[in-house]
Amino acid sequence: MRHIEITYSTSRGPGGQRRDKKKTGVKLLHLPSGIVVRVDGFTSQARNRKIAFQILRKRLKKIYQPKKKRIPSRMPRAAKEKRLRRKKYHSQKKVLRRNPFEP
């Protein structure tokens, strides 16, 4: 909580006068990462705060989760042969398109 700055603001939308008067919008700023989350979808400040913390938690988890190391794999022999056959067929088509009178 000490790394998070919480500010409340008025918000607009469904909810009428109460939502316009009360500070139901929640904005969280995570100071170390600079992530900003703003939620004002509901008329309840507590509900908006809860959702904002859930969103912040997901974003932080995504950022700080270590990336999996890629395991290099080999191309199967059948796939390699198929690719080479396609390349040879394509080059043969190009040979047939050539003008026989040009050097």
- Domain map (residue ranges) of the chain: 4-64
Contacts of 102 (CB under 8 A, 6+ apart): none
Express each pLDDT in 34-48 by its tens digit. 999 999 888 888 999
Contacts of 37 (CB under 8 A, 6+ apart): 27, 28, 30, 52, 55, 56, 59
- Looking at domain 4-64, does it have CATH number 3.30.160.20? yes
Each residue's pLDDT tens digit, 61-99: 999 999 889 998 999 999 999 999 999 999 999 998 888
Please tell me the pTM assigned to this model: 0.62
Of residues 21, 22, 23, 55, the one with CA closest to residue 38: 55
DSSP state of 14: T
